[in-house]
Amino acid sequence: MCVFRLAQLLTLLLVLAALAGCATSAAQPPRPRGPDPYFTTMYGPQPDEAFPLPATDISKVDPRYLRQQVPYVTHEPPGTIVIDTPNRHLYLVQGGGMALRYGIGVGKAGLEFAGEARIGRKAQWPRWIPTSDMVAREPERYGPLAGGMDPGPTNPLGPRALYLYQGNRDTLFRIHGTTEAWSIGSAVSSGCIRMFNPDVIDLYNRVPEGTRVVVIQAEEPMSAPMPPIEPPIDAPVEAAADNPLLSF
């Protein structure tokens, strides 16, 4: 009888221990992992800008679109910018088979450009003027801005812009910041090549005017020769020369 009761007691203790373990597990679910602290610092606030920038929310950003050094095989020399529009990446070629990779958002104008250019002009907190095509397409949105928008936190060019030229001609293709950080990694309705604001500031500081830029629109070898482009039909060369701020 004693042996039987001892067995019952042991069984009861085992059941209680198992239930306690389940309750403990249920009460302490695993905590979801947040962004890597390295990246939260990288995309933190920038209070020293002319228009102070808040931290960029990267909590829902695919990590492949965050700035990082990666192995990169290319025939392009160090210092070249390669824009891979299908994969939504911009590479700044470095030595030793490496590159600094940034995530980008690609707008309609960005999908219309393929070829080689150079950075003909750089601007901090640039002014912005919508193109005539943008005003015609969305008059309610862009009509009131036809005269241009001053620099500031709501300006769609963001804190920096790099203007691409072929020879002395403005291609109307820009690399710039954004007011829509959620759009990085996607295709968007307007604009050229947009970057996270901390990223475009970082790139701006790394490249001088005259930097060579190669823009790729299809899955092809990075070293493939790129044909020159013609100016957009609704943006004659004269207009581009008179006003290099016609597009974002």
Could you read off the pLDDT of 93-114 as tens digits, one per residue?
999 999 999 999 998 766 778 8
CA distances from 52 to 49, 59, 122, 158, 194 (A): 5, 21, 20, 11, 19
- Structural domain spans, the chain: 65-242
* Burial class (CB within 10 angstroms; exposed 0-12, middle 13-18, buried 19+) of 80: buried
Is residue 132 very low, low, confident or very high in pLDDT (cuts 50, 70, 90)?
confident
CATH number of 65-242: 2.40.440.10
Alpha-carbon torsion, ordered 62, 63, 69, 71, to 10 deg: -70
* pLDDT tens profile 205-219: 999 999 999 999 876
- pLDDT recorded at residue 110: 63
Cα–Cα distance, 234 to 41 (Å, whole number): 42
Summarize pLDDT for 147-194 with one digit per residue, the tens: 889 999 999 999 999 999 999 999 989 999 999 999 999 988 666 899
Catalytic (active-site) positions: 176, 192
Sole residue written with tokens 């470095």: 94
How many other CB atoms are found less than 10 A from the CB of residue 77? 9
Helix (H, G, I), strand (E, B) or coil at 78: coil
